[in-house]
Structures are given as structure tokens and as C-alpha cells.
Structure 1
Amino acid sequence: MEREEQALTHFNEQGRARMVDVSGKADTVRVAVAEGQVRMAPETLRRIRERSVAKGDVLSVAQIAGIQAAKRTSDWIPMCHPLALTGVDIRFADDGNDTLTITAEVKTTGKTGVEMEALTAVSAAALTVYDMCKALQKDMVIGPVALLGKTGGKSGDYVRSAT
């Protein structure tokens, strides 16, 4: 994986952490999509699909958790700016066997992107699935979680290449 050498912007002249000043940047429409997986036993996934987990409707609760997490990302990630999100959508799909895929799309119009919000939304939704199903199965595996793409901003669009 080849990358351009870029200056690290989250450090001041003393080498200490700082929140980047984005006040001079233009507002643009920004969208980010992230995805993650939870691998589990087929029986656990079947119970999620059938809404027969004792704690309730796992996907509904995970969806709300993902939305809440996206809105509160700056409370978790120290250098993230608090953002006024204009949309958060959490979707679920499964392979019919043992893998639940969670996708989050986050939107805003602002001076900085929403990649961290999308990644946080997926992570919180996955952790909520684990929490609600841990009585059924403790060896579920969360991951990988990855940014699939983003649009808007000075750095332009990004689409994750197939691996």
C-alpha cells in the first residue's frame, strides 16, 4: 500500500496533540460509508433474524446504538470535531450462515468529514449485537471494520479498493 507523505496535522509546534482548526475551510456536503461484520454461530444469527433473543429485537437496538454513537463520536475520539449530522443510516445484511454485516452511511454539510462517525456507528452497532447475544454465545468475533468510501472536502473522494 503506497501513500503520499503527509504532515501530521494533529500536533502543534511543540509536538503536542491539538484539535485541527477547520475554521478556514469551506462547508461542503460530506458523506462516509463504513462497514463491519459480526461472526457468530448459525444458531445465534437465526435467533437474531427470528427476533427470538431474550433481550429483544437485536437489530433495532443495534440500529439505535449506531445512530447515537455517530452523533456522539467527538465524545469518544479526542481530536474529532463535534458535528451537526444531517443523516445517519444503519443497514444490516447476513450471509444466511454465520456473518452479520453492518453498514453505516453518515452525512453532514460542514468543514470536516464524517469518516470517524461512520466507523463509530458500525462499531457501536456491532458491540450492541454482541452485548445482546452474549448470553447465547460469548465467542462471537467483531471485525473487520473499515471505511468503504467518502465524498466531499478538500482531499476529494475515496473508495476502498477490493482486497
Structure 2
Amino acid sequence: MSTTRLGAAAAAIGIGAVVLSGCASSEATSGHLDRPVGWPASGWPATTGEVVEQPATPAVQPSIPPPAPVPCRLPDNGVFKVGKDIQPGTYSYVVTGHPDVGGYWQRLSCLTGDIDCVITADTVNGPGNMTVEPTDVAVEVFDVQLNPEE
């Protein structure tokens, strides 16, 4: 190799070393010369042609079935409309009032408050069963907790 070629090779190596030594700063290694020193590339807008990858979103979201309805506990005092508040069927009951006084339930054919609306009724002092018919308009209870039988 001639001296001229050796000198050119050494100069090229020297230039390469200067270029490589300049790569120590974060701007030079990341290709972002327009953001403040110390800002990560992922936290700065892509203004120099940087390709910003978006997180992959699944094409189809898995469907989660709704939870099975939990049988609700009816209040122990009130009027329950059949088909809306209470469903036809057989119910067990317990008295929630004072044991000496007991409780009361009645099945109703109308909601006018007239005595003719009462289909059947019972004053109870302990547990028992009753059946709500699809033709009943409502059920009224006083200190009686109804629980659907399964």
C-alpha cells in the first residue's frame, strides 16, 4: 500500500471515529434532533419521519355473557304486581314480625282496595307456602317474607 493510500485510510478511520464519537448523545442515536435532550423518543411527537406504532386492537372483542339473574328477595311488607314485581308460582314464606302477632298475606284480583278484590288471604304465625296464580293482579304481604321455591 502506498503512503497516500495509508494516509487516506487513516483519515477515513479518523473521520469515522469522530462521527461515531458524536453518537453518544441521545439525539444522535435516536434520530431526533428536534426534541429537547433527555426526552424519550416515545414521548415526543413523530416529526422526523419516525414511525409510531399503535397498540394492536383485536378485531373482535370477546363477548361476556351477562350474569344469571339472582332471585331477588322481596320486601316483607308491600303490594307486588304479578308479572312485574312477582312472578306466578309457588312461594315459601316466613313471618318477619313479632311471633305473637304473626303476619298476613293476600292474593288480589284488583287494586281498588275493595274487599271484593281479595281472592284469598291468611293470617300466619309460622312458615308455610302459597301459590301466586297467573290470573292474580297482585299479592300483598304484612310482615311476611316470600321466597320463590325452585
TM-score tier, shorter chain, comes to: under 0.3
Answer 1 or 2: which has greater helix percent. Answer: 1
Larger Cα-atom Rg: 2
